[in-house]
């Protein structure tokens, strides 16, 4: 196995595993065609990756997918999204597809293939964190869901919690949704995360009648499960948003993600990003079950 076959195998396996849900949208969107059509290149890539066969079929599949990837990139710019990284993830996918056909040669092909698989396993969630997570998809919705963060023992909200709630309040004041759903778990002390979140929202001018608290938002799964009906604007930090989107999709819900406006970058950010890489795959495999 070489680098090109390793890429083919990884994309093939990921594509086939993603078909029951909507996770193929992470790397390619072939709508209005059925996502089940991706089963064809998925199988072709897997066979080529394992056996090295069907090279012509791989070339045809890559060519067809490149067309959709380019359309995805054009669509990204046409939407005029507020993106901190002004480059669509589609360009990364385009490069991977090109490498599948014209991968560089190496003296140690097996070692290079293994390194490629590891890089793709880490790179997919990291790519989503820095491309998807840093893009605001804010638009009119029915409710703004704000995910909780740490509340200190003395009742003070952490900077992460402040950033998330204030971003949700900004969306509310902009008229994008009539309600806020503040979800979290216990704080370090007697004050619950959601109570601290409500106090911040009230101070930001959101009326109490527009605020609902979810004291059982102990995990991303729990918050998604407890969210009421309608279209959702989900607010959290950029590294958390790909996992949030994944769970809402698996729940059959329409959710648009908005990264929190950070007053400053907390020093734990590298650790939190690394944790999300493992969290993404854990949630992905868990949704398959």
Quick one: pLDDT at residue 259?
96
Say whether 15 sits in a helix, a strand or coil: helix
In whole angstroms, give the CA distance from residue 289 to residue 26.
Answer: 19
Quick one: pLDDT at residue 264?
87
Measured in whole angstroms, the distance separating CA 210 from the mean position of its chain's CA atoms is 27
In whole angstroms, give the CA distance from residue 118 to residue 171.
Answer: 38
Task: Give the DSSP per-residue string, 189-214.
Answer: SSS-HHHHHHHHHHHTT--GGGEEEE
Quick one: pLDDT at residue 10?
93
Quick one: pLDDT at residue 280?
87
Nearest to 159 by CA among 150, 168, 167: 150
Where do you find CATH 3.40.50.620 in the chain? 136-288
Which two structure tokens, joined as six digits, stand for 233?
Answer: 């604007």
Nearest to 82 by CA among 243, 238, 283: 238
Nearest to 100 by CA among 68, 35, 54, 132: 54
In whole angstroms, give the CA distance from residue 211 to residue 94.
Answer: 43
Quick one: pLDDT at residue 194?
95
Which two structure tokens, joined as six digits, stand for 218?
Answer: 């102990």
In whole angstroms, give the CA distance from residue 252 to residue 250.
Answer: 5
In whole angstroms, give the CA distance from residue 287 to residue 108.
Answer: 36
Cα 286–Cα 150–Cα 165 angle in degrees, nearest 5: 95
Quick one: pLDDT at residue 205?
94
Q: Are 262 and 134 in contact (CB under 8 A)?
A: no
pTM score of the predicted model: 0.87
Nearest to 235 by CA among 137, 147, 170, 171: 147
Reply yes or no on domain 136-288 having CATH 3.40.50.620: yes
3-state DSSP: the chain helix, strand, coil percent, rounded to 5? 55, 10, 35
Residue numbers in the chain where pLDDT is lower than 50: none
β-strand 180-183 against 82-83: which pairing, if any? unpaired
Q: Are 45 and 22 in contact (CB under 8 A)?
A: no
| H helix and E strand count, the chain | 10, 7
End-to-end CA distance of the chain: 30
Which helix (H) or strand (E) segment holds residue 83: the answer is strand 82-83
Compute the radius of gyration of the chain from its Cα atoms.
21
In whole angstroms, give the CA distance from residue 9 to residue 31.
Answer: 23
Cα 144–Cα 25–Cα 12 angle in degrees, nearest 5: 150
């Amino acid at each position: 196995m070489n680098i090109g076959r390793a890429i083919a195998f990884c994309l093939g396996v990921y594509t086939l595993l993603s078909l029951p849900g909507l996770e193929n949208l992470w790397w390619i969107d072939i709508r209005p065609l059925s996502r089940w059509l991706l089963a064809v290149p998925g199988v072709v890539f897997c066979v080529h990756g394992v056996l090295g066969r069907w090279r012509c079929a791989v070339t045809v599949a890559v060519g067809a997918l490149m067309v959709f990837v380019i359309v995805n990139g054009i669509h990204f710019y046409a939407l005029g999204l507020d993106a901190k990284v002004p480059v669509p993830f589609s360009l990364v996918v385009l490069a991977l597809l090109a490498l599948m056909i014209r991968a560089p040669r190496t003296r140690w092909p097996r070692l290079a293939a293994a390194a490629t698989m590891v890089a793709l396993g880490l790179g997919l969630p990291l790519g989503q964190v820095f491309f998807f997570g840093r893009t605001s998809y804010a638009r009119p919705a029915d409710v703004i869901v704000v995910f909780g963060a740490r509340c200190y023992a003395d009742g003070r909200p952490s900077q992460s919690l402040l950033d998330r709630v204030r971003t949700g309040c900004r969306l509310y004041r902009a008229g994008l949704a009539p309600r806020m759903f503040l979800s979290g778990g216990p704080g370090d002390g007697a004050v619950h995360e959601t109570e601290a979140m409500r106090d911040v929202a009230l101070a930001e001018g959101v009326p109490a009648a527009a605020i609902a608290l979810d004291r059982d938002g102990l995990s991303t799964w729990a918050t998604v499960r407890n969210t009421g009906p309608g279209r959702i604007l989900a607010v959290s930090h950029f590294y958390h948003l790909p996992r949030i989107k994944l769970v809402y999709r698996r729940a059959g819900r329409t959710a648009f993600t908005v990264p929190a406006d950070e007053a400053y970058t907390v020093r734990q950010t590298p650790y939190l990003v690394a944790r999300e890489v493992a969290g993404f795959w854990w949630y992905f495999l868990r949704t398959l079950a």
